[in-house]
Amino acid sequence: MADLRDLGNKCTCPSRKFPCKHVLGLLWLNAESIVPFAPAETPAWVSDWLGRRRGTSAAKPAGAAAPAGEKDLRAARTAEPEAAEDPKDAARREAQAAKRNEETERAILDALDALEQWIGDQLRLGLSGFIDDATARCRRIAARLVDGKAAVLAGRIDELPARLLALAAGDRPRGAVVELGKLVLLARAFRAAPRDAEIRRAVASSETRETVLADPQAPHVNGHWEVLAEQVQTRRDGLVSQTTWLLNLGAAGPRFAMLLDFFPASAGRRGSVFTPGERFQAELVFYPSQQPLRALLVRRDAAEETLTHEWPAPDETLSHALTRPLLAEPWTIDVPLLLPQGRIARDDAGHAWWRSADGTDTLPITGSAAGLLAGTELTRTAAIWSGNRLTILAAQTPWGRIAGHD
């Protein structure tokens, strides 16, 4: 938009040139009378912008607005009555927001159609070809999803080849079926309930911090937490994600909490607020979900003596813990687990496995698990199960608490 009185302008593009090419184009269209600019009602965002512009607003002629007389602190303190909002304006804004929402939804649904089409193509062309060319193919559909406003899903598909290539070659077809199957389930779930916050979080974008804090449905949990580990990952989209895993040492509430933070990689490495192993009392608010996991830190209390708290015992059987999350959210990738007593074992090829003390359960482990982790009893282990590999976050041992994979 542009203000013809003083050629002030604003555009939604990220260009740092003022005026940007869009504004220049607009002014040119106006100057040459190429398209008719019919006077119409000022849209709300234009009014907003005009209202924020300093000094030039016709409503505030210089001198007239500032009342003569000395500046008075009391006058500043008296609350000015908020300008009564024009009900028409409010209604219009709401309608526009609803329209925008609808457009977004439409775009996402279109993108999901494209995704399903793409998945069907992969099946028709053969998964062996897909596995060989996963990076390029996923890149293309991810770009389409970004255009279709399904940014979170796009990020997930961008990371898919990496997860697939981490598998043993013989296990990749199965891995591809699981990954693609989850995408179909997620797409169908979105179609069935496009307004569901949880599903939207997995497809398009997360609610803002303010929305979650204001949401009466969001569960608040006040408890003792231990910082299990911190995972820092540079994603393909250039953002660095910093994931902090917390363990609830108390009896009530969700067992794990995940604090997620993003910042641009160009900002450099960021110092952490948390140290693994640190314990504190805090109130967390969880994003509303069937199985609350992602959370925000609302209040952190002064440190107190909580060192005597042992890690709680796992409150369900391992097989239950592995499959229950898949019933509620079949598209879930990472499941945090609290494992019972066990230890690390190696097979002949040198791959590491976690084995329960009674020998009934074995789970393959990411990496080689060297040093102390492999050389002692693990009385409790906190780990992340990603469908085919276990990433150990931290463990309790006779040597005390030790960190898992770094």
**Nearer to another protein among residue 87 and residue 350 (C-beta):** 350
* Residue 1 C-beta: closest distance to another protein, Å: 44
- CB-wise, 167 or 246, nearer to another protein? 167
Helix or strand holding residue 353 (H, E)? strand 352-356
Residue 128 touching another protein (CB under 8 A)? yes
The candidate with the shortest Cα–Cα distance to 185, out of 333, 65, 48, is: 333
Supply the minimum distance, in Å, between the C-beta of residue 125 and another protein: 6
Q: Which residues pair with 3 in a beta bridge?
A: 8
Question: Does residue 388 belong to the site contacting another protein (CB under 8 A)?
Answer: yes
Measured CA to CA, the distance from residue 262 to residue 243 in angstroms comes to 9
Cα-Cα-Cα-Cα dihedral sign, residues 99, 151, 45, 32 = negative
181 binds another protein (CB under 8 A): yes
Q: Applying CB under 8 A, does 273 fall inside the site for another protein?
A: no
Q: Which of 23, 337, 344, 393 binds another protein (CB under 8 A)?
A: 344
Per rule CB under 8 A, is residue 174 in the interface with another protein?
yes
The Cα 229–Cα 336 span in angstroms is: 12
Q: Which residue in the set 41, 80, 348, 358 belongs to the binding site for another protein (CB under 8 A)?
A: 348
Q: How far is the CB of 74 from another protein (least distance, A)?
A: 46
Stretch in the footprint of another protein (CB under 8 A) among 26-34, 36-44, 229-237, 357-365:
357-365
Q: Identify the residue whose tokens are 């042992």.
A: 310
Tokens coding 41: 């009602």
Instruction: Determine the size of the site formed for another protein (CB under 8 A).
Output: 54
Which residues does residue 258 pair with via DSSP β-bridges, in sequence order? 245, 294
Q: Does 377 participate in binding another protein (rule CB under 8 A)? A: yes
116 forms part of the interface with another protein (CB under 8 A) = yes
Nearest CA-CA partner of 261 in 235, 280, 282: 235
Q: How far is the CB of 138 from another protein (least distance, A)?
A: 16
Do residues 297 and 240 touch, judged by C-beta distance below 8 A?
no
Taking contact as CB under 8 A, which single stretch among the options 99-107, 145-153, 208-216, 349-357 is the one that binds another protein?
Answer: 349-357
As a whole number of angstroms, the distance between CA 246 and CA 126 comes to 41
- Give the contacts of 232 (CB within 8 A, at least 6 positions apart): 240, 241, 242, 243, 269
Q: Which two tokens stand for residue 225?
A: 């937490």
Give the one residue of 366, 376, 379, 391 binding another protein; rule: CB under 8 A.
376
Does position 305 interact with another protein (CB under 8 A)? The reply is: no
Q: Report d(CA 391, CA 394) in Å as an integer.
A: 9
CA distance 274 to 288: 24
Distance set, CA 191 to CA 105, 203, 305 (Å): 10, 11, 49
Site string for another protein, 14-53 (x = CB under 8 A): ----------------------------------------
Write the single-letter amino acid at 252: A
In the complex with another protein, the residue whose CB is nearer, 129 or 264, is: 129
Please name the residue ranges forming H helices in 60-150: 73-77, 87-125, 127-132, 134-147
Would you say the C-alpha torsion 232, 234, 240, 241 has a positive or negative sign? negative
CB of 107 or CB of 372, closer to another protein: 372
Select the residue interacting with another protein from 224, 236, 345, 396 (CB under 8 A).
345
Q: At closest approach, how far in Å is the CB of 368 from another protein?
A: 10
Q: Which of 372, 379, 391, 396 binds another protein (CB under 8 A)?
A: 372
CB 114 within 8 A of CB 148: yes
Contacting another protein (CB under 8 A), which of 178, 197, 239, 273?
Answer: 178
Which residues in this chain contact another protein in the complex, by CB under 8 A?
116, 119-120, 123-129, 168, 171, 173-174, 177-182, 184-185, 188, 322-323, 326, 330, 343-351, 353, 355, 362-364, 370-372, 374-377, 387-388, 399-400, 402-403
